[in-house]
Amino acid sequence: MPDVVLRITEDQVRLHTNSGEFDWALGDELVKVARDPTGIAGAEFTAALEPGAAREQRTDIGLRLQQGVFDAAPAGLWAGLQNGVTERNPLRVRVDIECRALVQLPWELMRDKRQALWRNNRVLLRRGRVVAAAETPQENARGPLRVLLVVCNPRDRRLLADHELAMIGAALTQLPGRLHTEVIDGPSLRELIAEVDHVRPHVLHFIGHGMRAVAGDMGGLHFNATQPAADSPDAEPDGPEETWTLGPEQMDHLYGSWTPRLVVLNACRLAHAPAAEFAGLIDTCLERGSSAVVAMQADIDSPAAAEFSHALYEGLACARSIDAAITAARNHLHIDDPDGPSWALPVLQCGVKDPSDVVRVEFGHLEPELTRMNRSWPFAELAMFLGRAKERRTGWWEQPDEATTVPPDRLLAITSAQQKCGKTWLAKWCLLTCMLRGEDITYIDLAEYTGRGDGGEPVTLDWLAVLRALREACMDKRQPDSMNSTDFARFNQVLNLAAQGGRQWAERMPSSELDLGHSFSVDADRHAERRRAEIFDAFLTTLRNRALARRRPHLLAIDSAQRISESDFRSALLPLLLGPVQELGDDFPLRILAVAPQSWAGFRHLQEFIPGAPVVLTDFQLHDYKRLAREFWERKLQENKLLKRLSFTDFEALLDRMKGNQQSFHVGMYQRVLDTWLDMGGMGGGMKEAG
């Protein structure tokens, strides 16, 4: 349905629709507010958003706003516009308020006798006007949607920033990989500029609510300003020495080389800053090219701010437009606290014609196929993948469409010196992101193809066993895009002849399209090296032909690479499989990701062979402990609602006791502690350790 513009001046209302324009007079009460230079006339309206205001007061203000705008409108005009609208085909309304005094009013409270207009998911309202800079075509439209979360005051215990980050993480568990989030804590202005330039976020999200007013300070977000802990109000703040304020001038610096599409100011009323200065911060973002800004128009408490973020990112992960996501977030807050004002606090200022363009990104598949693949094997366990934000870029960050002409590395490696560091999770996350972006992917865990010898040690695979395992993995129907047996018909023919050698191979006699299971005969003739190279070439040609036919690159992840014989890896797989993949040009769209511990003898050869440094995972360090514990808990609540009967505080206390004096811990520690707690009588246990 075409967009509708509701323009409000100090004494007039104009409604622009696809069928024409309609003008009428603004209500007398609002005209009085618009023409009052002192702002006193509007104080009654804004007071309705204060925490102590009664629900009836907000209802009354909402009705008065609606009456002031629509009482003089042509009869049936507003109701007629809503005929036939649905959630799938909503009416979109841009509210353009040209009078500065009227901008300050809580328009989000506006309601008729039946409902609040801004919570109607069939009529999506937003504030703003089209800004030329924001209409500039956006680059880098390929997913995932990149989000930089900025914690303004990481040592202020009253902010509950970790809770908000955990709620955002929990919101992304249903469809992992759709959003890529990174966090920066208490940066200086230079550090923030550098991080924005590095991450190039589509969404720049600030967490900085609950700050005190500073006499004579400008309106803005305060960084590294702390408050005493709640249990010791007289204590000195324990925070960094460098404090600064992100106001309009500082915000302007952030747009030096990158323009975020959406800026989220999930803060209170910016330390009670004057409304004009608050608007200046938003205007700077829109004038420098951001498509939309979300900000709070009054104080929002920390739990509500966290719930708002949870609902917002749940909507963005489901590819909702920004106006639909904000409307859903309002309803989420209203369900939690129908008597409070929090649902009306978010203000969406949009500077583009179509709100759907604000956070639109493209993936390599269409719905519903995209969601089916997102939730298929081997990605189900990734809902509990914690941390490792920067490492998650592995495999997709340096793609050519990411503002670089440097081709991505074709060989990648993930390793660690410790066990249970999440190597497998990271490899699967890499595959998931690349699959969402449009690559074919194949995951293989070589541990599934090896048994144990008489001595109890794992049996290693020779090069031919590895190739056969890779072929079987490519045809595994569990893969999101499995290959067919016919794809490997030519490879099997070459394998049957070249493995045995002799006259049949030399004369290229016909062979079965099924693998006959021959072992490789070294003594059949003097052409063993040529025959082995021919087998590898046939395998790579099979993958190349399939990728070219589908016009999709192919990423092959080999987990448990330590199950490969070190000598065969060095003498055969490195020169004949990995070598051609790395050296051939763009017409060979295949990449390989290897996962192995640093203790594997073959890893030294791999590290010397690949052009880029491997991704090295370590145990989580103590400074990540509290934040990840909260996120683990919130994610667990998404899959097991019965945990709501238990207390995170009790879980955290048990975690502290079991952690003892450890300075680091592995990725499965949280689940182990939770299982221990449940076995002790929490809820009867039954949940297994993940990862």
Give the model's pLDDT for residue 381.
86
Q: What is the mean pLDDT of residues 310-327?
A: 96
CA distance 658 to 241: 34
What pLDDT digit, counting tens, does each position of 626-667 carry? 889 999 999 999 888 788 888 899 998 888 888 778 778 888
Give the model's pLDDT for residue 455.
52
- The CA–CA distances, whole Å, from 259 to 141, 385, 402, 448, 531 equal 13, 29, 14, 46, 55
Question: How many other CB atoms are found less than 10 A from the CB of residue 288?
Answer: 18
Using DSSP's 3-state secondary structure scheme, residue 471 falls into helix
State yes or no: pLDDT of 237 exceeds 60.
Answer: no
Using DSSP's 3-state secondary structure scheme, residue 439 falls into coil
Secondary structure letter of residue 289 according to DSSP: T
CA distance 612 to 634: 36
Alpha helical stretches, state H, 128-223? 161-171, 189-199
Bridge partner list, 148: 182, 204
- What tokens were used for 126? 């937003």
- SS3 for 31-60 is HHHHCCCCCHHHHHHHHHHCCCCCHHHHHH
State yes or no: pLDDT of 687 exceeds 50.
Answer: no
Give the model's pLDDT for residue 279.
74
What pLDDT digit, counting tens, does each position of 395-424 carry? 887 554 444 445 567 899 999 998 888 999
- What tokens were used for 633? 């808990």
Query: Which residues have CB under 8 Å from 125's CB, separation 6+?
Result: 93, 95, 117, 118, 323
What pLDDT digit, counting tens, does each position of 9-24 carry? 999 999 999 889 999 9
Which residue in this structure is represented by tokens 């955290």? 652
660: phi > 0 → left, psi -120 to 50 → alpha, else beta; which?
left
Contact 365, 331 (CB under 8 A): no
Contact 116, 292 (CB under 8 A): no
Sheet holding 440-445, edge to edge: 440-445, 554-559, 590-595, 411-416, 615-617
> Beta 244-246 vs 221-223: how paired, if at all?
antiparallel
Most confident of 89-93, 140-144, 209-213, 663-667: 89-93
What is the pTM for the complete model shown?
A: 0.91
What pLDDT digit, counting tens, does each position of 362-396 carry? 999 999 999 999 988 999 889 999 999 999 988 88
Alpha helical stretches, state H, 318-444? 322-336, 369-374, 423-436
Secondary structure letter of residue 578 according to DSSP: I
Query: Which residues have CB under 8 Å from 415's CB, separation 6+?
Result: 423, 595, 596, 597, 598, 603, 614, 615, 616, 617
Cis check for the bond before 368: say yes or no (omega within 30 of 0). Answer: yes
What pLDDT digit, counting tens, does each position of 330-349 carry? 999 999 999 999 999 999 99
Contact 202, 357 (CB under 8 A): no
- What tokens were used for 231? 């249990």
Q: What is the mean pLDDT of residues 602-619?
A: 91
- What tokens were used for 258? 């990158």
Give the model's pLDDT for residue 136.
65
CA distance 593 to 591: 7
Is 472 buried (19+), middle (13-18) or exposed (0-12) by CB count in 10 A?
middle
pLDDT classification of 682: cutoffs 50, 70, 90 = low
